[in-house]
Amino acid sequence: MKADPRLIVPLDLPTTAEAQGVVEALGEAVSFYKVGLELFATDGMALARALKAQGKQVFLDWKLHDIGTTVQRAAAVLADTGCDLLTVHGEPQVMASAVRGRGRSDLKILAVTVLTSLSDADLVEMGYAETAKALVERRIHQALDAGCDGVVASPHEAALARAIGGKDFLVVTPGVRPDWAAKNDQARAATPADAIKAGASHIVCGRPITGANDPQAAARRIIAEMAGA
C-alpha cells in the first residue's frame, strides 16, 4: 500500500533523533510530516530540511503571529526551504503578510482560526464579542479574502470550512482518532473516515501511529480507513 498524502503525522517528540526514528519506522507508508514548536525550539528546521531531502512533504506548524513585516519576512525565508505548509494565526493582517511573503513559491499558508483550547468564556476575557463558533466562521472568510490556501479546523468545523472555502480549499484537521486507538487528550475526536467525509483535505494523526507497537501497521490501517470514506 502506498502512502496517502492526505495523512500527516506530527513529529511531537523532544529530539530530532527520535523524530527521525519514527520517520524511519514508517518508511514508505507515510509521506507527510508536521514539525511543531517542541522541535522548533531545538533544531526543527534542520529536521524539516532533512525530511525534504528524503522526498517527504513538510508542514511547519509554527503558528506565526507578529507585525506584518516580520511575518512577511519569516514566510519568505521559510518558502525558500521548499517546505509545503505553514500555519499562521487567523488575523487578517498576519494572514495577508504571510501570503505576500511566500510570494510565488509553493509554500501553502494555513490559518489557525481559533485555537481549540479557547472557550467562549476565554474569548470574552480576551475582549472578543463573538462566540468561538462565530469567530471561526468570520476567520474562514477572512482567510479566503487574505489569499490563504486553507485553514486548520477540528473535524467538527471541517464541513463549515469546506462549504465556505470551496473544493480546492485546504482543510487540515487534527483531533482524529480511529475507533481502536486511545483518545489521549483529544476530547472531541472524530475517526479518520468521518473527518474525510466531513470535508477534510488532510488529517493530522499522531499518537495512534507514533505510540503504536507497530507504527507502520497503524498508519496503513488509518490509510485504509481514509480510502473507504
The full length of the chain comes to: 229
Q: Select 71 or 152, whichever has its Cβ closest to ligand C5P.
A: 152
CB of 184 to ligand C5P, least distance (A): 6
Segment lying near ligand C5P (by CB under 6 A), choices 45-53, 75-83, 156-164, 200-208: 200-208
Pick from 184, 185, 180: nearest CA to 220 = 180
Asked if 221 interacts with ligand C5P (CB under 6 A), we say: no
| HEC sequence for 137-205 | HHHHHHHHHHCCCEEECCHHHHHHHHHHHCCCCEEEECCECCCCCCCCCCCCCECHHHHHHHCCCEEEC
Question: What whole-number distance in Å separates Cα of residue 223 and Cα of residue 209?
Answer: 11
CB of 208 to ligand C5P, least distance (A): 7
CB of 182 to ligand C5P, least distance (A): 10
CB of 189 to ligand C5P, least distance (A): 8
Asked if 175 interacts with ligand C5P (CB under 6 A), we say: yes
Q: Pattern of binders to ligand C5P over 15-54, x per CB under 6 A?
A: ---------------------x------------------
Q: Are 170 and 140 in contact (CB under 8 A)?
A: no
The C-alpha cell of 29 is what? 507508508
Catalytic-residue membership of 197 = no
* Residue of minimal Cβ distance to ligand C5P: 206
Q: Select 90 or 174, whichever has its Cβ closest to ligand C5P.
A: 174
**Phi first, then psi: what are they for 22, rounded to 5°?**
-65, -45
The C-alpha cell of 77 is what? 525565508
Q: Give catalytic residues, as residue numbers.
A: 63
Binding residues for ligand C5P, rule: CB under 6 A, are 10, 12, 36, 116, 152, 154, 174-175, 184, 186, 204-207
